[in-house]
């Protein structure tokens, strides 16, 4: 398939929308993983609901568009789905066991891992401005993390493992985004993810309460929308350019807390968010000032071995 013309500005817009949906899924996972809507659900059950309802949404989109499924790169999909399922499950587990702000902050090491992996695996070149912007965003994350005893509780290791897993997943998303239509990528991913999640959830399955069913459905719908935005963004710009903007999830989470629960971020939260936004703004300003499109590596032909696969 012919890749779309690079468009950094549209890629950023799509990523910002995706982060808004991702923040919703994490907040809902916190609710169903705790006692807020009924007896706490196991993280494996939360991730199962996420893949189940996301697949329903994607399948409806495929049916409406009469999308033809062809040229599936099963090996890439397999790796992407395995790491994606692992990252989501670990993140849901962390969110249920530690402060949401801490879990979210730690999980957002994933763009750093993705940017580093994009260099050897995708052959992308990361210039000094991108390094500076990414490190600036990482510094903002460190401020939001509030280093101390609470940040290093055992559950933090779950969030860190989720960050590594999602960073690896981003690499395979990039490889797939240039070789298959976005809707096809999501259909295959969520189908494989549901198969993995179903096998994993059997030993811990419990009947959710009505409110938990509703929350699980919303998690799936929001994640499907986020995936659609994210995969399309990855087709429009380099992974090393796109992924740092996912730090905006931290900002959305703070806004949702204020609007829904009346929790107003303190000075530390505002400072961390401002630093992260500054990092993303620096990156966007530099790309616009250069006055050229961000290039993407050519997609391999069907059957070609993916780097690292």
Residue range 52-66, pLDDT digits in tens: 999 999 999 889 988
* Cα–Cα distance for residue pair 281/230, rounded to 1 Å: 19
Q: How many domains does the chain have?
A: 1
Whether 255 is in a domain gets the answer yes
Whether 302 is in a domain gets the answer no
Return the exposure string of 230-251: e unless at least 16 CB atoms fall within 10 Å of the residue's CB, then b. Answer: bbbbbbbbbbbbbbbbbbbbbb
Whether 44 is in a domain gets the answer yes
47-51, 90-94, 157-161, 165-169 — most confident range:
47-51
Q: Decide if pLDDT at 293 tops 50.
A: no
Q: Decide if pLDDT at 280 tops 80.
A: no
Higher pLDDT, residue 94 or 297: 94
What's the token pair of residue 254?
Answer: 């703070």
* Cα–Cα distance for residue pair 224/281, rounded to 1 Å: 27
Whether 309 is in a domain gets the answer no
Q: Which three-class secondary structure string do you get for the chain?
A: CCCCCCCHHHHHHHHHHHHHHHHHHHHHHHHHHCCCCCCCCCHHHHHHHHHHHHHHHHHHHHHHHCCCCCCCCHHHHHHHHHHHHHHHHHHHHHHHHCCHHHHHHHHCCHHHHHHHHHHHHHCCCCCHHHHHHHHHHHHHHHHHHCCCCHHHCCHHHHHHHHHHHHHHHHHHHHHHHCCCCHHHHHHHHHHHHHHHHHHHHHHHCCCCCHHHHHHHHHHHHHHHHHHHHHHHHHHHCCHHHHHHHHHHHHHHHHHHHHHHHCCCCCHHHHHHHHHHHHHHHHHHHHHHHHCCCCCCCCCCCCCCCCCCC
Give the C-alpha distances (Å, rounded to integers) separating 30 from 40, 45, 243, 285.
9, 13, 24, 35
Higher pLDDT, residue 159 or 48: 48
State phi, psi for 183 to the nearest 5 degrees: -65, -40
Of 191, 151, 197, whose CA–CA distance to 41 is shortest? 197
154-158, 189-193, 235-239 — most confident range:
189-193
Banded model confidence at residue 128, pLDDT cuts 50, 70, 90:
confident
Give me the chain's average pLDDT, please. 78
Whether 21 is in a domain gets the answer yes
What's the token pair of residue 54?
Answer: 């996301």
Higher pLDDT, residue 69 or 144: 69
- Report, as an integer, the average pLDDT of 1-6: 58
pLDDT in tens, 196-250: 999 999 999 999 999 999 999 999 999 888 878 887 887 787 766 776 777 788 7
State phi, psi for 126 to the nearest 5 degrees: -110, 115
- Which domain, by its residues, includes 260? 8-290
Range in 3-7, 13-17, 62-66 with the lowest mean pLDDT:
3-7
Whether 103 is in a domain gets the answer yes
pLDDT score of 295: 42
- Report, as an integer, the average pLDDT of 257-278: 73
Whether 102 is in a domain gets the answer yes
> How crowded is the C-beta side of 6, counted as CA atoms within 13 Å?
16
* Cα–Cα distance for residue pair 169/231, rounded to 1 Å: 12
Whether 165 is in a domain gets the answer yes
């Amino acid at each position: 398939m012919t890749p779309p013309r690079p468009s950094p500005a549209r890629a950023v817009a799509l990523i910002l929308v995706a982060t808004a949906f991702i923040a919703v899924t994490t907040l809902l996972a916190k609710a169903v993983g705790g006692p807020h809507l009924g007896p706490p659900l196991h993280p494996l059950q939360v991730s199962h609901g996420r893949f189940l309802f996301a697949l329903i949404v994607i399948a409806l989109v495929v049916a409406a568009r009469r999308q033809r499924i062809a040229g599936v790169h099963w090996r890439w999909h397999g790796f992407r789905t395995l790491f994606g399922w692992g990252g989501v499950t670990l993140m849901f587990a962390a969110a249920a066991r530690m402060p949401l702000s801490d879990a979210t902050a730690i999980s957002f090491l994933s763009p750093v891992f993705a940017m580093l992996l994009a260099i050897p695996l995708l052959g992308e070149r990361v210039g000094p401005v991108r390094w500076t912007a990414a490190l600036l965003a990482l510094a903002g994350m460190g401020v939001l993390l509030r280093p101390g005893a609470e940040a290093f509780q055992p559950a933090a290791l779950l969030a860190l493992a989720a960050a590594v897993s999602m960073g690896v997943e981003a690499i395979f998303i990039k490889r797939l985004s240039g070789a298959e239509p976005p809707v096809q990528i999501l259909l295959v991913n969520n189908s494989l993810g549901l198969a993995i999640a179903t096998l994993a959830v059997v030993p811990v399955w419990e009947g959710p309460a009505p409110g938990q069913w509703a929350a699980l459905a919303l998690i799936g719908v929001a994640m499907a929308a986020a995936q659609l935005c994210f995969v399309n963004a990855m087709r429009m710009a380099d992974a090393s350019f796109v992924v740092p903007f996912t730090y905006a999830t931290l900002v959305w989470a703070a806004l949702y807390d204020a609007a829904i629960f009346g929790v107003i971020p303190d000075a530390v939260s505002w400072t961390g968010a401002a630093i992260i936004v500054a990092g993303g703004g620096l990156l966007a300003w530099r790309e616009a000032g250069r006055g050229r499109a961000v290039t993407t590596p050519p997609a391999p032909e069907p059957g070609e071995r993916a780097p690292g696969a």
